[in-house]
Structures are given as C-alpha cells and as structure tokens.
A and B are shown apart, each in its own frame.
Chain A
Amino acid sequence: MRITLNGSEENLAASLTIAELVRAKNWQPERIVVEVNQEIIGRDSWSKVLLQEHDQVEILSFVGGGEN
C-alpha cells in the first residue's frame, strides 16, 4: 500500500493504523504531531485510524526557530 509520508512516497507492506506506523518506525510519540490528509489526528485516535491507499501523512515536530 502506498502512502505519501512527509512528501515522499512510502510503501507499506500491510494496512496499518497510525499507532502501528509510529511503532514500526520507532518514532517517539511524545515528540510528534500527526496529520493525515491535512487533518490533525490526536494521539488518542492513533490506534483507531487505519491508513488508506494514497493518504498524505505528515509527521511534524517543534523545532527551534524565531524568525525565518
């Protein structure tokens, strides 16, 4: 199954929930914000949202930055 992950195409072997994707990728949950098709998915819903073919997934985080 193909999704777009942070702008790059990604092939997933199976259909995954967001929680499963986060675990598989070894991301630290407290560090990230997840958006699917421009909709913010709260951490409570990660295990309920099953990723679909062609989903646009954004994994975001806060970084240092003031003015730029």
Chain B
Amino acid sequence: MNDHLEIGGVKLTSRLFLGTGKFSSHTFMGEVIRQSGVQVVTVALRRIDFASEEENVLQHVPPGCVLMPNTSGARNAQEAVRIARVARAAGAGNWVKIEVISDHRYLLPDNYETLKATEILAQEGFVVLPYMNPDLMVAKKLKEVGAAAVMPLGAPIGSNQGLKTREMIRILIEEIDLPIIVDAGIGRPSQAAEAMEMGAAAVLVNTAIATAGDPLAMARAFDFAVQAGRMAYLSGLAQTNQLAEASSPLTGFLR
C-alpha cells in the first residue's frame, strides 16, 4: 500500500511516534526505535545535571529519525518559544512539539498559551505540532496560525487510560484538515488501533511502551496495531447494526 503521512515536507511511512522518556537506558531506547520502525521521536531539553555522566540522548537516536523536541517544562507561551529556539539552535531541526502545562495534577495542556506559542513559532519557520486538549475551535485557530498537525490528548499523560476524549477527537478528525495525532493516554495497542481506525494520522506513545514488561516487544505490538488500524481505516469499516444480519444464505436449509 502506498500510504504515507507527510508533515513539514517529510514523508513518513511509520505512524507510530515515540516519546523517549522512562526507558531503562538511552542505548535500549535506540534499540526500541530501530526494531519498531519508528521515524519520529520526541525529546526534552533540560538543564544539564553536572553530577550525572549520562550522555546526550540524541546520540542514541538512529540517523534518519525525525527529531521533534518538545517544550515540556514550559508554563506559558513565552517559555515554550524560548525552549523551541534553543532546541533549533542546538541542531535538533525545525520540528517542535508545543507542550505548555501549568496543571501538575492532570498535566493538562493550556490551549490558550499553546495557541500563542504556535503562532509565534510557525512564523519563525518551525514545523509546529501542538499538544492540546481536543477543542474544535482551538484546533481551527491552530490551523489558521500555521500548525503542521494537531495533537489532541486521549487521556492524561502517562495514565494509560486510552481514548477518554474519543468523541472530541472524532470531531477534530472530521472537521480539521490537518493530520490529527493522538498524543498521551494511549495505554494499549488496541487503543492505538482504535485511534487509527477512526482516522487519526498517527499516535504518539511513550509510557505504555517504556514501562511495559518487555518494551521491545511492546513497541512492535504497537507498530502492528497502528498499521492494522490504519489499514482498517483505509479499507472502509463495515457498518454496525442493531439487529443480527446472517452472513450465510437464508434458503436451502436441511430440514
């Protein structure tokens, strides 16, 4: 099937995006990326820990992978813009996942600050992928100000609860002419497949893979699920009916 996702001029064949936190080591994370065919990874920018010998995570991201630095830690648009500029200056490319969070209990994104940051960074030539609470009006404005995709949450970050916001995501997919990438909350491959069946362009997973019993196998399971869901979406799902509908002929019974 000649099916690819194009964002910021890059053609992707894998629709599974990976977050790089919570893995037991950077080397292991690199192995997970390689074995699951992931082509987009998100990384964070932090003050260096002078006491730690840990290497730069970028050294373990396979060449050819698109880096999508995120602005985690930003509490407002201004901080997000600053982080994005630093990431680009550090050679991480021009993609950025806007993440503006000031709520520490549910880690829900601030849509208004996210919109402001998206506008500024899109004007500066960034490929902007904002993480957002699925709201149709905000998504429309994000498109207007130049977002390259919209990344609604399925459920709170790291909660593994699946598509709690299913109906709102469905509306975004229907109404917004941009790739809709479900980010956060996906806990199982079946939930990733469900998002893809609904017509999501991709899913971003981190916790559900990194904290699985066998992250390597789980990453592959997610890869299969995303492919299966995508294929199902493209194939046109059969309709659901209230009543039974026999699939074998209702004539010629042996009686």
Query: Is the pairing of A and B real?
Result: yes
User: CB within 8 Å of B: which residues of A?
Assistant: 6-7, 25, 27-28, 30-33, 35, 38, 40, 42, 58-68
Report the minimal beta-carbon distance from A55 to chain B, rounded to whole angstroms.
15
Q: Which of B14-54 contact A (CB under 8 A)?
A: 18-23, 26, 29, 42-48, 50, 54
Q: Tell me whether A64 and B43 are in contact in the complex, defined as CB-CB below 8 angstroms, given that A6-B48, A31-B56, A59-B48 are known contacts.
A: yes
| B86 x A63 contact (CB < 8 A) | no
| B45 x A60 contact (CB < 8 A) | yes
| B72 x A67 contact (CB < 8 A) | yes
CB pairs A–B below 8 angstroms (7 shown): A27-B48, A64-B26, A65-B19, A65-B43, A67-B21, A68-B44, A68-B158
| B90 x A64 contact (CB < 8 A) | no
For A58, the closest partner residue in chain B by CB is: B47
Q: Which residues of B contact A40 (CB under 8 A)?
A: 85-86, 89-90
Most chain B beta-carbon contacts within 10 A, residue among A30, A31, A59, A61? A61
Any A CB within 8 A of the CB of B152: no
* Chain B contact residues: helix, strand, loop or mixed: mixed
Report the minimal beta-carbon distance from A17 to chain B, rounded to whole angstroms.
18
Report the minimal beta-carbon distance from A33 to chain B, rounded to whole angstroms.
4
For A33, the closest partner residue in chain B by CB is: B90
Any A CB within 8 A of the CB of B194: no
Complex CA distance for A25 and B48, rounded to whole angstroms? 12
Report the minimal beta-carbon distance from A7 to chain B, rounded to whole angstroms.
7
Q: Which residues of A contact B18 (CB under 8 A)?
A: 66
Q: Tell me whether A62 and B57 are in contact in the complex, defined as CB-CB below 8 angstroms, given that A40-B89, A67-B21, A67-B204 are known contacts.
A: yes
| B47 x A42 contact (CB < 8 A) | no
Report the minimal beta-carbon distance from B137 to chain A, rounded to whole angstroms.
24
Q: Which residues of B contact A60 (CB under 8 A)?
A: 45-48, 86, 90
Q: Which residues of A contact B54 (CB under 8 A)?
A: 63
Any A CB within 8 A of the CB of B94: no
For B67, the closest partner residue in chain A by CB is: A62
